[in-house]
Structure 1
Amino acid sequence: MKELISFIATRLVDEPEEVQTEQHEEDGTVTVELRVAKDDLGKVIGKQGRTARAMRTVLAAMAAKDEKRSRLEIVE
């Protein structure tokens, strides 16, 4: 899951070398943390959060396949 989010994020940002992802699982919930450069934060979130929402939707679909819940946290 984190590989897909990393792939998407690196294609959106100006500094792809700064993209970092971590994946944690607890109580059936998979949490993916996405870190990008401060200047690229807006590009990953998108207008009115549309890009972030789309990434969360893709992540939720992948998690549902494994009968789990998912969360995407975008941090600086």
Structure 2
Amino acid sequence: MERELIEYLAKSLVDNPDGVEVNVIEGEKSTILELKVAGDDVGKVIGKHGRIAKAIRTLLSASATKSGKRVVLEILD
């Protein structure tokens, strides 16, 4: 569920939606989502002063509350 959410949000923000890639790393108590976008689009996903990244993380944590797991978003460049 969270993977699809991040993928949808990232593809909506970037100029090159084909360059969006989300990897999921499952742990016992937490899940790590690695978001990789094209080099030119990293700034669009992070936003000024990290505002967009913070908003995406807020939506992600709200979505993950149902499962009871902690979800972490890492934006790779």
Q: Same fold (TM over 0.5)?
A: yes
Is structure 2 residue 62 aligned with structure 1 residue 61?
Answer: yes
Inter-partner Cα distance in structure 2 for 1:2 and 1:54: 16
TM-score of the superposition, structure 1-length normalised?
A: 0.95
CA contact (8 A) 1:30 1:63 kept: no
- Structure 1 residue ranges (4+ consecutive) displaced by more than 2 angstroms after TM superposition: none
Inter-partner Cα distance in structure 2 for 1:9 and 1:66: 22
Q: How many residues align?
A: 76
User: Which stretches in structure 1 are left out of the alignment for 5+ residues?
Assistant: none
Per-residue deviation, 1:25: 1.3
User: Identity, % of aligned pairs?
Assistant: 49
CA shift digits 1:20-44 (9 cap, x unpaired): 0011111210111100001100000
TM-score of the superposition, structure 2-length normalised?
A: 0.94
User: Which stretches in structure 2 are left out of the alignment for 5+ residues?
Assistant: none
**Superposition CA RMSD, Å:** 0.7
